[in-house]
Amino acid sequence: MSKTNPGNFFEDFTIGQVIRHATPRTVTEGDRALYTALYPSRFSIPSSAEFAANVGLKPAPVEDLIAFHIAFGKTVPDISLNAVANLGYAECRFHQPVVPGDTLSTSSEVIGLKQNSNGKSGVVYVRSTAVNQHGETALEWCRWVMVHKRDAGSPAPTEVIPELAKTVAAGDLIIPDTLNFTGYDFTAAGEPHRFGDYEIGEKIDHVDGVTLTDPEHMLATRLWQNTAKVHFNTEARPDGNRLIYGGHIISMARALSFNGLANAQLISAINAGAHVAPAFAGDTVYAWSEVLDKAETSAPGVGAIRLRLVARKGRDESMTLRGEDGKYADGILLDLDVWALIPV
Amino acid sequence: MSKTNPGNFFEDFTIGQVIRHATPRTVTEGDRALYTALYPSRFSIPSSAEFAANVGLKPAPVEDLIAFHIAFGKTVPDISLNAVANLGYAECRFHQPVVPGDTLSTSSEVIGLKQNSNGKSGVVYVRSTAVNQHGETALEWCRWVMVHKRDAGSPAPTEVIPELAKTVAAGDLIIPDTLNFTGYDFTAAGEPHRFGDYEIGEKIDHVDGVTLTDPEHMLATRLWQNTAKVHFNTEARPDGNRLIYGGHIISMARALSFNGLANAQLISAINAGAHVAPAFAGDTVYAWSEVLDKAETSAPGVGAIRLRLVARKGRDESMTLRGEDGKYADGILLDLDVWALIPV
Amino acid sequence: MSKTNPGNFFEDFTIGQVIRHATPRTVTEGDRALYTALYPSRFSIPSSAEFAANVGLKPAPVEDLIAFHIAFGKTVPDISLNAVANLGYAECRFHQPVVPGDTLSTSSEVIGLKQNSNGKSGVVYVRSTAVNQHGETALEWCRWVMVHKRDAGSPAPTEVIPELAKTVAAGDLIIPDTLNFTGYDFTAAGEPHRFGDYEIGEKIDHVDGVTLTDPEHMLATRLWQNTAKVHFNTEARPDGNRLIYGGHIISMARALSFNGLANAQLISAINAGAHVAPAFAGDTVYAWSEVLDKAETSAPGVGAIRLRLVARKGRDESMTLRGEDGKYADGILLDLDVWALIPV
């Protein structure tokens, strides 16, 4: 019998099933350095141990998305190795900031199943949780993916579609215990704009563009131990291109958003996300943001700002999300809805 | 007089000569992170400090091959800068696991010399040893290389061909003192297969492929401070290609072998190895393994499994090593014979 | 109003103005590892914690140029985002060696202004200083850049051209307090050549070449958080090439100079520097050095050697700097004048 992992097919999932994912992964200063080399990130908390200590975070956490990518990558061999498509995210909340030395272990619970009408595939909903070595939750999120059936003839499971929040309520955001923005150093952080300077509905063109390359996205995707074949193997797709991991685009857009949102420091939640189109080496990625909402928090000096973060191929100064037909505008790669923490 | 290193030629080596190689190199968490980014490695001991501690290894060692590549790279300027070919390996044993903070220093003893019949080159056999800052051996190995003579007219040395073991005897493997697999967590490690599940003669197709790129192999090769010109300079070969360091293929194959051999955790010995064909950017590397032998060890819960690890260009589900003519099958890049430690 | 950083134009600078640059940056072992992967560096002090401790440096400093690139990168958004050209360096001195854990903060004082005769741009002279978390200076340097005016009609400032030393006087070099080369291990360092072995006027061809790639220079430039668009975006130049950050060439040349100058261990000063021509992916970089001066220092066993470090595209064994017309020879990329510390 083959010893390699065939992944799970739609029939292998049952409601309530809990899958403990391999392999636990210890985060290090090496991850922080590589992240800086891979993405044009300059956010001052992960960049500077001194800045982080001054806002109550000591030792300095790594970029929030490092934890997200590592935890997400762990779920791939069990959840999405046979996926047709990654359909959506919801209710992603960051709990404890992850610092070098933390070991993340990830597990997923199956919370929904819906066979497609063609009988050949189905949608699997999971809630995944990454905990550190102390058993504390680092982050949790839901996602749903379309997965092939092994056998089209196998019976459909009872349909269960979970109710997922359209957006994480501001009151449900988890603020790190010790976070305190009252002595925030705006000059060191790079921009003067604070909570009160952003208006709901405001759009920000982040101006800069980065042209993607194959070696860089492969380095990133391997760093998160994400093993999906299409990212690495030119023989895996008819066109000979390597498909770029969607998370690479998320991190690129987030890093580009520094220019205009330098103080939107910590990602607190991902409310929703769509990978609108695939990205390939040679594409030049730009980003723009839209302020969707704002909320106060109980932490000293800390506000929450809800942002639509859009990545696109080629710059669009008009920052158009959808055409008159309601479809995403040409060139859009990513439409991500996040809550970030920002000094008031 | 030129101050640059011309390397040693065949005449420069004498039996019994000991060469202390520059430059000592301290291993860090940065090396671990880069290794993860360069190779699709998910072995749980180097990945997780918690997992490593649970099997008796604290702090967590880095990938065994990091130590091998660093130590090997050190020998290049003195041993193989003028080499025509790297002919073979034998008797490579890993002693103390290498952890971040360890500084490796490498030296080589010349143990064999054989001039070629053409009088223009000869074979040099060396036993190389890398020790840490405590003077403990981290690893040792023999290799033999064909080296140019400076002057075809210089006299041939007395021929000495060392007797090298075809394979390291199971009883000669060195098991880390504290290693204990009795509480091994197979779920966290990623696969259920243990010592008893593998049969001698069994072959495992590791399924996944990775398409190589120039920037990635150069990053890797520099990280090990290996200076052989052909890896970096498109002007060094008539075809304008950069030859990929053979060790890059070793690490790629080893990482790919996780899929089917996730519990073959620590490389304990390299019995033999042949770089069968050169690899270049654009090649897609696949791997398969064959179980050659199995042995018990004195460590609790620890078995040893001897594996042939084959890397090839393009997948071959038949896993054919040699054609009817006895020659390596087309596409084969690497034929490596190793002992690994695995839970019983 | 736009929230993105438009950068400063010539009119925005005033004599005596002090600009505190974002973002402070903590140096880690990850930076050391990435530097090793990006450049073929083998200098024994940054490579080996044991070697460094034996010459009085504990913990081991990272490569001097890491501090330079990080500090330089910080000045880009405020000083040279709208620069036409980086015209020169002077009076760069390295003070305290930078070790992992140090957080560098950078500021610049405007020390000179000269509007160009065309009225459309001007030259800005700044003295920049990077300090660590203890307030100690890590390094300082002057540079001058040609910057666009926002409005050609705005009045010219009073012209101030600072007097900058053509070279840092040997007596002004800052030697790390504890540095002691009396027990220097030349074998471990890789070459036997010491202070007395180099003659003023001597030239050294460093022999090796490295062919540049886009992913590698982008990884490097991002690591220093340098955001100049032309390095990352193929849409930023009419020819579709990414311009390689000049500092990438500096580090490549410095690393190549190991072969012949392995004991020119620490860069103590950069006296002057010119980026003679742009470099692009596909160029093969070689280096040669010329000994310009030598001086004793007060530190035990430590001499200072002044070197012209030249990087060029394609090898030139004649090591010609300028043609008969006094212009730089074809192929020259970089002409850098440095002081390095070397065992006597």
User: What 8-state DSSP symbol labels residue A96?
Assistant: S
How far away is chain C from the Cα of A206, in angstroms, using its nearest Cα?
Answer: 7
Q: Tell me the pLDDT band of C321, cut-offs 50, 70 and 90.
A: very high
Are A111 and A234 in the same domain?
Answer: no
Are C189 and C310 in the same domain?
Answer: yes
Are B309 and B197 in the same domain?
Answer: yes
Contact A29 B30 (CB under 8 A): yes
* DSSP string computed for B28-87: -HHHHHHHHHHS----HHHH-HHHHHHTT-SSPPPPHHHHHHHHHHHHIIIIITTEEEEE
Are B170 and B160 in the same domain?
Answer: no
Contact C232 A40 (CB under 8 A): yes
pLDDT on residue A5? 86
Q: Which residues of C touch B29 (CB under 8 A)?
A: 29-30, 33
Nearest to A15 by CA among A144, A127, A129, A160: A160
Contact A36 C222 (CB under 8 A): yes
Q: Which residue of A has its CA nearest to C106?
A: A188
User: What 8-state DSSP symbol labels residue C239?
Assistant: T
pLDDT on residue C228? 85
Residue C53 has pLDDT above 80, yes or no: yes
Q: Tell me the pLDDT band of C5, cut-offs 50, 70 and 90.
A: confident
Are A143 and A183 in the same domain?
Answer: no
Residue C142 lies in a domain: yes
CA angle C231, C22, C138 (to 5 degrees): 95
Map tokens 């770029």 to a residue: A244
Average pLDDT over residues A22-29: 98
Q: Are A342 and A175 in contact (CB under 8 A)?
A: no
Are C12 and C136 in the same domain?
Answer: yes
How far away is chain A from the Cα of C20, in angstroms, using its nearest Cα?
Answer: 7
How far away is chain A from the Cα of B336, in angstroms, using its nearest Cα?
Answer: 20
Q: Give me the residue from C24, C33, C233 closest to A44, CB to CB.
A: C24
Residue A1 has pLDDT above 60, yes or no: no
Q: Show the tokens assigned to A100.
A: 């070098």
Residue B313 lies in a domain: yes
Q: Which residues of A touch C233 (CB under 8 A)?
A: 208-211, 284
Residue C218 has pLDDT above 70, yes or no: yes
Q: Give me the residue from B42, B206, B259 closest to A225, CB to CB.
A: B42
High-pLDDT (> 90) share of chain B, %: 94
Nearest to B271 by CA among B168, B163, B154: B168
Q: Which of A164, A196, A223 is the last residue of a domain?
A: A164
Beta bridge partners of C115: C122
Contact B29 A24 (CB under 8 A): no
Count of A-B CB contacts under 8 Å? 132
Residue A15 lies in a domain: yes
Are C136 and C173 in the same domain?
Answer: no
Contact B28 C33 (CB under 8 A): yes
Q: Which of C136, C164, C192 is the last residue of a domain?
A: C164
Q: Which chains does chain B touch, 3 or more C-beta pairs < 8 A?
A: A, C
Tell the burial category of A240 from Cβ atoms under 10 Å away from its Cβ (0-12, 13-18, 19+). Answer: exposed
Q: Which residue of B has its CA nearest to C193?
A: B3
Contact A47 C33 (CB under 8 A): no
How confident is the model over B140-185, as pLDDT tens digits? 999 999 999 999 999 999 999 999 999 999 999 999 999 999 999 9
Q: Tell me the pLDDT band of C69, cut-offs 50, 70 and 90.
A: very high
Q: How many CA atoms lie within 13 A of C164 on its CB side?
A: 22
pLDDT on residue B198? 98
- pLDDT averaged over chain C? 96
Q: How far is Cα of residue B265 from the mean position of the Cα atoms in its chain?
A: 15
Residue B322 lies in a domain: yes
pLDDT on residue C262? 98
Residue B57 lies in a domain: no
Residue B83 has pLDDT above 90, yes or no: no
User: What 8-state DSSP symbol labels residue C314?
Assistant: S
Q: Show the tokens assigned to C136.
A: 């100690």
Q: Tell me the pLDDT band of C1, cut-offs 50, 70 and 90.
A: low
How far away is chain B from the Cα of C29, in angstroms, using its nearest Cα?
Answer: 6
Are C7 and C133 in the same domain?
Answer: yes
- pLDDT averaged over chain A? 96
Average pLDDT over residues B16-37: 98
Residue C85 has pLDDT above 90, yes or no: no
Phi-psi region of A47 (alpha: psi -120 to 50; beta: other; left: phi over 0): alpha
Are C193 and C234 in the same domain?
Answer: yes
Domain of A287, CATH number, reads 3.10.129.10
Q: Which domain holds residue B113?
A: 1-27+62-164
- Give the mutation candidate from B44, B47, B54, B307 for the A interface (greatest A CB count, under 10 A): B47
pLDDT on residue B117? 93
Q: Which residues of B touch A2 (CB under 8 A)?
A: 204-205, 260
Residue B172 lies in a domain: yes
Q: Which residue of B has its CA nearest to A229?
A: B208
* Residue C240: other Cβ atoms inside 10 A: 10
Contact B29 A34 (CB under 8 A): no
Collapsing DSSP to helix, strand or coil, B150 comes out as coil
Contact C40 B232 (CB under 8 A): yes
Tell me which residues of chain C have a C-beta less than 8 Å from any C-beta of chain A.
2-5, 20, 22-26, 28-31, 33-34, 77, 100-101, 103, 105, 133, 213-215, 218-220, 222-223, 225, 227, 229, 232-236, 242
Q: Show the tokens assigned to A39.
A: 């993405």
Contact B36 A236 (CB under 8 A): no
C-alpha to C-alpha distance for C219 and C248, rounded to whole angstroms: 10
Contact B233 C284 (CB under 8 A): yes
High-pLDDT (> 70) share of chain B, %: 100
C-alpha to C-alpha distance for B263 and B272, rounded to whole angstroms: 22
- Give the mutation candidate from B187, B222, B291 for the A interface (greatest A CB count, under 10 A): B187
Q: Which residue of A has its CA nearest to C30?
A: A30
How far away is chain A from the Cα of C246, in angstroms, using its nearest Cα?
Answer: 17
Contact B4 C39 (CB under 8 A): no
Contact B189 A214 (CB under 8 A): no
Q: Which residues of A touch B39 (CB under 8 A)?
A: 222
How confident is the model over A226-267, as pLDDT tens digits? 988 899 999 999 999 999 999 999 999 999 999 999 999 999
User: In total, how many domains does chain C have?
Assistant: 2
Average pLDDT over residues B180-204: 98
Q: Show the tokens assigned to C257.
A: 């100079």
C-alpha to C-alpha distance for C95 and B109, rounded to whole angstroms: 42
- Give the mutation candidate from A2, A17, A26 for the B interface (greatest B CB count, under 10 A): A26
Q: Which chains does chain A touch, 3 or more C-beta pairs < 8 A?
A: B, C
How far away is chain B from the Cα of C271, in angstroms, using its nearest Cα?
Answer: 24
Collapsing DSSP to helix, strand or coil, C253 comes out as helix
Residue C153 lies in a domain: yes
Q: Tell me the pLDDT band of C82, cut-offs 50, 70 and 90.
A: confident
How confident is the model over B229-286, as pLDDT tens digits? 899 999 999 999 999 999 999 999 999 999 999 999 999 999 999 999 999 999 999 9
Tell me which H or E stretch contains C216: helix C214-223
The separation between the first and the last C-alpha atoms of chain A, rounded to the nearest angstrom, is 60
Collapsing DSSP to helix, strand or coil, A153 comes out as coil
pLDDT on residue C84? 82
How far away is chain A from the Cα of C234, in angstroms, using its nearest Cα?
Answer: 6
How confident is the model over C160-175, as pLDDT tens digits? 999 999 999 999 999 9
Contact A33 B30 (CB under 8 A): yes
How far away is chain C from the Cα of B213, in angstroms, using its nearest Cα?
Answer: 10
Q: Tell me the pLDDT band of C6, cut-offs 50, 70 and 90.
A: confident
Are B157 and B259 in the same domain?
Answer: no
Contact A188 C232 (CB under 8 A): no
pLDDT on residue B79? 94
Contact A208 C233 (CB under 8 A): yes
Contact A43 C34 (CB under 8 A): no
Q: Which of C121, C147, C164 is the last residue of a domain?
A: C164
pLDDT on residue B99? 98
The percent of chain B in helix, strand and coil, each rounded to the nearest 5, is 25, 30, 45
How far away is chain A from the Cα of B82, in angstroms, using its nearest Cα?
Answer: 30
Are B133 and B266 in the same domain?
Answer: no
- Taking CA atoms, A191 is separated from A34, A186, A197, in Å, by 24, 6, 11
A120 CB contacts (<8 Å, ≥6 apart)?
A148, A149, A152
Strand ranges, E, within chain C: 18-20, 25-26, 83-94, 103-115, 121-131, 137-148, 203-205, 210-211, 266-275, 284-296, 302-313, 332-343
How confident is the model over C234-259, as pLDDT tens digits? 999 999 999 999 999 999 999 999 99
Residue B1 has pLDDT above 80, yes or no: no
Q: Are C270 and C342 in contact (CB under 8 A)?
A: no
Contact B42 A3 (CB under 8 A): no
Q: Which residues of B touch C207 (CB under 8 A)?
A: 4
Residue B66 lies in a domain: yes
User: What 8-state DSSP symbol labels residue C186?
Assistant: H
Contact A103 B284 (CB under 8 A): no
Contact B190 A23 (CB under 8 A): yes
pLDDT on residue B5? 86
Q: Which residue of A has its CA nearest to C24?
A: A48
Are B81 and B206 in the same domain?
Answer: no
Q: Which residues of A touch C24 (CB under 8 A)?
A: 44, 47-48, 50-51, 188
Q: Which long-range contacts (CB under 8 A, 24 or more apart) does C322-326 make?
A: none
High-pLDDT (> 70) share of chain C, %: 100
Residue C148 has pLDDT above 80, yes or no: yes
Q: Tell me the pLDDT band of B228, cut-offs 50, 70 and 90.
A: confident
Q: Give me the residue from C28, C33, C60 closest to B31, CB to CB.
A: C33
pLDDT on residue C28? 98
